[in-house]
Structure 1
Amino acid sequence: MPQLCPAEPVVAVTRLAGVTTDVFVNTHPFETPGEKARSVFGGYLLGQCVAAAQQTVPETHDVHSLQSTFLLPGNPNEKVSYHVERLSDGRSFSSRLVRAIQPGDVVHFTAIVGFQKRSTQPPPPPPPTLNYGEAMPAFGHGSPDDIDAGSAEACLVEGGYPKPMLDLWRDPFQWRILPRDRAMGSDTVEDPTRFRMQSFVRVAPSMLPVDGSRRATHHALLAFLSDLFLIYTTNLATARPVTGFAIETTMNHSVWFHAPDVAVDDWLACERDTAWADDGRVLIRQRLWRRRDGRLVMSCVQEALARLNRSGGGSSL
């Protein structure tokens, strides 16, 4: 199973000294699943671009949206610099353009990050339709403690994630995967739009400082989480392990943040499903609810490139 690591270093960025523009670099080296890692995991770019953009707006502003495009794979052994451009600043909303650049002035990733001034009023109670227990009856009101701690490893291995890489990968999140409804999986249905995976997830409490962290850190970690193993929803939906794909990579990734007071060290209920697949591309959707009160905290949509090996035979992609 993936080893746990401290949470804050995953998204920490440092302002580059000696420059007049808003430029930040990753504070710590990237964690990789072994020496043969070919690119920077997209969650780092997502979380760190949110962290960098956050430093260019007042502390009273919280991230509410992120629309990003992955252009080229990044070298995990090189620093990434995040160049933040201040697109707009209004009374309530601010927008930032972030470019992730590595040596040679190569742009690997771009994102537009939106911020909203924090309301002084308490948030309204969530509509019943957004309560995870009602929106996802399979969750019911169960407890993550009732789910096998090894469920995440079993799920990833089933999806084709190489076991040696899994043992080397480090991130701060704990996963508890619910049993899937096989009538919705690829064993009996060829249509991947009917596949759905549900789980509970959180940052392990020991991986976040006891005295708490700034809410901006929680938002950046939520952005990191939004890409964590997300593309393997495709593998499980098509019964095609990762070895059956010649290419699997994110193209576009959008996130909407619905709860500024979210704490990622509380259990979140997560649902992922594939909504469309054709011409070598797949669409994956994701929603996260806060378990303790059922409030929707994040929505996400990802378009990914998923091309099969020519020898892989037929597939629903």
Structure 2
Amino acid sequence: MPQLCPAEPVVAVTRLPATDVFINTHPFETPGEKARSVFGGYLLGQCVAAAQQTVPDTHDVHSLQSTFLLPGSPYEKVAYHVERISDGRSFSSRLVRAIQGGNVVHFTAIVGFQKRAPDDASANPPPKLSYHEAMPEFGHGNPDDIDQDSAEACLIEGGFPKDMLDTWRDPFQWRILPRDRTIGQTDTTSPNLDPTHFRMQSFVRVHPSMMSSPSPSSSSPSSRGTHLALLAFLSDLFLIYTTNLATARPVTAFSIETTMNHTVWFHAPEVPINDWLACERDTSWADDGRVLIRQRLWRRSDGRLVMSCVQEALARVQKPSL
């Protein structure tokens, strides 16, 4: 099963002197020699970490809109070129280009930041709907009651190669609930349930021993930025395998599976990622070789919505051999 690894190194970037260019501080983890490209979560998390260093400490990331253009090598450094495209009184935007091989752009992102509201802000917040209210059966789940090997079993079910799984080092702990394929179905005995009615629920966190930074707070901007960069990394972790599980097809059934566009909204920047988060993933549309995957994360302790994410991926099924 995946081994735990320290969390901060997966999103750490180093600034080149007198520039807004950053490179990954540590080599990328790869699941064995079969890895053909750098995992997209690294690009997402590290581009947030790079952009964060070009805005004031009073600002938190609130959105990330990214496009994956070309696969990047997991064995070469990535240079994140940050362009300061706008700075207002409350909001700032950064354009980030991830470059390898000279001037080849492999990934681009627009990262939005918002100035943190003062603790005594008088504005009335809108009503909030927690996952306890939206999905009461999910709210009663307890990570301690779920098999520690549930994540490994889920990935193997989705066709993730066992030898690659054993070498993958991941800072996150997962506790995955039984998959629900019956949402919206009238005939639950049918062997061909609609994939868009598939829903996967789990609990996830960075193991406390894998996180040296304290919980984020308004007085600890570097720690806060690390937690948010790790949340961006998490947003892509095994997300595309929702397609495999929803269609009951293993990885080997697809000729290609890769992310095209990935958008994240950060709703609660002060929530620590080493708290248990409740995660729900589902598919909502597929056509012409593309699939749309959605996910939301809440803090388990109080049901507060922490992150929303939508991914468009390319997923082409293997043609049957003649």
TM-score by length of 1: 0.94
Matched, 1:219 2:219: no
What is the CA–CA distance in structure 1 between the aligned matches of 2:134 and 2:166, rounded to whole Å?
34
Kept in 1: contact 2:182–2:193 (CA 8 A): no
Bigger mean CA offset, 206-215 vs 95-104: 206-215
TM-score by length of 2: 0.92
Matched, 1:193 2:196: yes
Deviation at 1:143, TM superposition (A): 1.2
Deviation at 1:126, TM superposition (A): 7.7
1:1-317 equivalences in 2 (<5 Å):
1-17=1-17, 20-121=18-119, 127-128=127-128, 130-184=129-183, 188-209=191-212, 211-212=214-215, 214-311=223-320
Which whole-Å deviations, capped at 9, do the CAs of 1:59-100 have from their partners, x for residues lacking one? 000000000000000000000000000000000000000000
Which whole-Å deviations, capped at 9, do the CAs of 1:14-59 have from their partners, x for residues lacking one? 0012xx4300000000000012210000000000000000000000
| 1:189/1:121 CA distance change after superposition, 3 Å | farther
Kept in 1: contact 2:215–2:272 (CA 8 A): no
What is the CA–CA distance in structure 2 between the aligned matches of 1:255 and 1:55, rounded to whole Å?
19
Matched residue type, 1:247: I
* Aligned partner of residue 245 in structure 2, secondary structure: helix
* Aligned partner of residue 4 in structure 2, secondary structure: coil
What is the CA–CA distance in structure 1 between the aligned matches of 2:135 and 2:127, rounded to whole Å?
14
- Amino-acid identity (%): 80
Kept in 2: contact 1:267–1:290 (CA 8 A): yes
Kept in 1: contact 2:86–2:92 (CA 8 A): yes
What is the CA–CA distance in structure 2 between the aligned matches of 1:70 and 1:59, rounded to whole Å?
28
What is the CA–CA distance in structure 1 between the aligned matches of 2:319 and 2:275, rounded to whole Å?
43
Deviation at 1:139, TM superposition (A): 0.9
* Aligned partner of residue 294 in structure 2, secondary structure: strand
| 1:119/1:210 CA distance change after superposition, 3 Å | closer
Matched residue type, 1:263: P
Kept in 1: contact 2:203–2:276 (CA 8 A): yes
Kept in 1: contact 2:181–2:193 (CA 8 A): no
- Stretches of structure 1 that go unaligned for 5 or more consecutive residues are none
Divergent runs of 4+, >3 A: 122-128, 184-190, 210-213
Instruction: State the aligned residue count.
Output: 310
Kept in 2: contact 1:15–1:24 (CA 8 A): yes
